[in-house]
């Protein structure tokens, strides 16, 4: 039986003359992911990407799960292809969905006919195939209103396709179709979610992690690498930039007023992120900030934090509460790793009474004793790169 995946495109179907650009990127992303699980013919037609195995060695279960993590599809369908003839459609449905009929008390056939030259209407196909299936499975009643099993039939240009309920796709836009951005990736719950949400909008991600050895351990660093690996099935191939941050934090501790430690530290992070972004042709910086969650995430503090840079700072979580963020973290598989009890550089030299509404002029004055350009250049020069691929 000709088993195949039908990946239904999402919002890119609304694109105009440049739709082909988005579709080509989508197909390229599918080919890259499927290369790990088998040999497939992959092509696009009628707002669908077809993933057709070319030999028995293709792992269709793995391909199905991989397809559900590719941004750009609203639905993922595992189907059986057959000739566009009611008898062939019936025989295919009878065998392909035999387990479904064994566990159902009622069914219906629902047909979609995108090949408008096909001589039978959708209703006629459903009636004819449904009658044959009713005879084949007399213990399963026909129920067109609330059936246990829906037999979906799609009449397309080259074949008919039979399947049951489609699985939900990842949605969004094809990764890489909307540019690139640097995303600050800590070991917490929020930043992996903001990274995922940005990738969902078609952005290629360069994750950046600030590492403060010996105040943070090798285990803390490995935790972030593990988070990047968990994100890679969604985000694609990434190069994690690990920035040594200890010297900067010590300089801030030794020369700046304590109440400004956090906001000055975050200004350095933003400067370094922009430097990395510009060197890699990125158009934005992404953070996991949520308004009011901590002292450095007030409107005033965020404004002061982003003041040193010209690139836009994207904050996908800015109006979300923690419960919503945790729900997404669980969905994408990062939550359990994020809550492992390893320290983060943001917890190093935390002020006892941080300034929640800092004034820009006061912060700039507080930074004056620091060699800002020298510290940024030193950190960027000594970065460690870790390639993360899926």
140 and 259 in a single domain? The answer is no
- CA–CA dist 162, 98 (Å, integer): 12
Q: What is the pLDDT along the chain (390 residues), one digit of tens a residue?
A: 689 999 999 999 988 889 999 999 999 999 999 999 999 999 999 899 999 999 989 999 999 999 999 999 999 999 999 999 999 999 999 999 999 999 999 999 999 999 999 999 999 999 999 999 999 999 999 999 999 999 999 999 999 999 999 999 999 999 999 999 999 999 899 999 999 999 999 999 999 999 998 888 889 999 999 999 999 999 999 999 999 999 999 999 999 999 999 999 999 999 999 999 999 999 999 999 999 888 788 999 999 999 999 999 999 999 999 999 999 999 999 999 999 987 666 666 777 778 889 999 999 999 999 999 999 999 999 999 999 986
Domain boundary among 103, 135, 168: 168
**Could you tell me if 169 and 7 are in contact, meaning their C-beta atoms sit under 8 angstroms apart?**
yes
Domain boundary among 110, 140, 168: 168
Domain span at residue 16? Answer: 2-168
- Could you tell me the two tokens for 29? 């992303």
- Could you tell me the two tokens for 229? 């690996």
Domain boundary among 105, 133, 168: 168
Nearest to 250 by CA among 238, 240, 237, 264: 264
Three-class SS state of 307: coil
pLDDT attached to residue 355? 84
138 and 201 in a single domain? The answer is no
Q: Looking at residue 184, which CATH number applies to its domain?
A: 3.40.50.620
Dihedral (CA of 146, 148, 150, 151) sign: negative
Burial class of 98 by CB neighbour count within 10 A (0 to 12, 13 to 18, 19+): exposed
**Could you tell me if 37 and 58 are in contact, meaning their C-beta atoms sit under 8 angstroms apart?**
yes
pLDDT attached to residue 1? 60
Identify whether 90 is part of a domain: yes
Identify whether 263 is part of a domain: yes
- CA–CA dist 218, 251 (Å, integer): 22
Identify whether 244 is part of a domain: yes
183 strand-pairing partners: 207, 286
Dihedral (CA of 250, 251, 257, 259) sign: negative
The structural domain count of the chain equals 2
**Could you tell me if 351 and 360 are in contact, meaning their C-beta atoms sit under 8 angstroms apart?**
no
Identify whether 61 is part of a domain: yes
pLDDT attached to residue 182? 98
209 and 123 in a single domain? The answer is no
pLDDT attached to residue 347? 67
22 and 83 in a single domain? The answer is yes
Q: Looking at residue 78, which CATH number applies to its domain?
A: 3.30.2130.30
- CA–CA dist 329, 331 (Å, integer): 5
pLDDT attached to residue 217? 85
150 and 34 in a single domain? The answer is yes
79 and 194 in a single domain? The answer is no
**Could you tell me if 305 and 296 are in contact, meaning their C-beta atoms sit under 8 angstroms apart?**
yes
- Could you tell me the two tokens for 385? 């790169």
87 and 130 in a single domain? The answer is yes
Q: Write the CA distances from 15 to 8, 20, 22, 23, 90, integer angstroms.
A: 15, 9, 8, 10, 36
- Tell me the H-state helices in the chain: 19-34, 60-67, 86-96, 98-102, 122-136, 190-200, 218-235, 246-255, 261-279, 299-306, 322-332, 335-338, 360-367, 372-381
Nearest to 160 by CA among 82, 64, 93, 272: 82
**Structure-token match 């213990």, residue found:** 139
- CA–CA dist 23, 254 (Å, integer): 53
DSSP tag of 108: E
Identify whether 175 is part of a domain: no
**Could you tell me if 199 and 235 are in contact, meaning their C-beta atoms sit under 8 angstroms apart?**
yes
């Amino acid at each position: 039986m000709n088993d195949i995946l039908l990946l239904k495109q999402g919002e890119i179907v609304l694109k105009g003359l440049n739709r082909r650009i988005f579709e080509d990127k989508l197909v390229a992303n599918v080919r890259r992911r499927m290369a790990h699980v088998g040999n497939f013919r992959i092509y696009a037609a009628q707002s669908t990407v077809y993933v057709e195995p070319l030999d028995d060695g293709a792992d269709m279960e793995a391909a199905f799960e991989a397809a559900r993590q590719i941004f750009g599809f609203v639905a993922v369908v595992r189907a059986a292809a057959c000739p566009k003839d009611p008898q062939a459609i019936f025989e295919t449905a009878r065998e392909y969905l035999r387990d479904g009929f064994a566990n159902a008390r009622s069914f219906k056939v629902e047909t979609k006919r995108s090949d408008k030259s096909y001589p039978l209407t959708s209703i006629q196909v459903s009636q004819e195939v449904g009658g044959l299936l009713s005879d084949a499975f007399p213990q399963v009643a026909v129920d067109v209103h609330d059936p246990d099993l829906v037999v979906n039939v799609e009449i397309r240009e080259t074949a008919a396709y039979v399947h049951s309920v489609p699985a939900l796709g990842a949605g969004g836009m094809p990764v890489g179709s909307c540019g690139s951005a640097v995303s600050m990736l800590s070991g917490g719950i929020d930043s992996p979610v903001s990274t995922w949400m940005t990738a969902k909008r078609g952005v290629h991600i360069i994750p950046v992690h600030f590492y403060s050895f010996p105040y943070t351990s090798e285990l803390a660093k490995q935790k972030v690498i593990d988070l990047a690996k968990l994100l890679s099935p969604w985000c694609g191939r990434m190069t994690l930039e690990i920035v040594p941050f200890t010297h900067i934090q010590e300089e801030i501790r030794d020369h700046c007023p304590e109440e400004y430690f956090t906001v000055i530290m975050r200004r350095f992070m933003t400067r370094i992120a922009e430097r990395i972004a510009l060197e890699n042709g990125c158009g934005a910086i992404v953070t996991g900030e949520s308004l009011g969650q901590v002292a450095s995430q007030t409107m005033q503090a965020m404004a002061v934090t982003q003041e040193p840079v010209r690139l836009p700072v994207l904050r996908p979580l800015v109006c979300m509460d923690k419960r919503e963020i945790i729900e997404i973290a669980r969905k994408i598989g990062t939550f359990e790793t994020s809550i492992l009890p390893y320290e983060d550089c943001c917890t190093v030299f935390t002020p006892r009474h941080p300034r929640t509404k800092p004034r820009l002029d006061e912060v700039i004055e507080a930074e004056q004793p620091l060699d800002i350009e020298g510290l940024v250049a030193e950190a960027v020069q000594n970065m460690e790169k870790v390639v993360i691929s899926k």
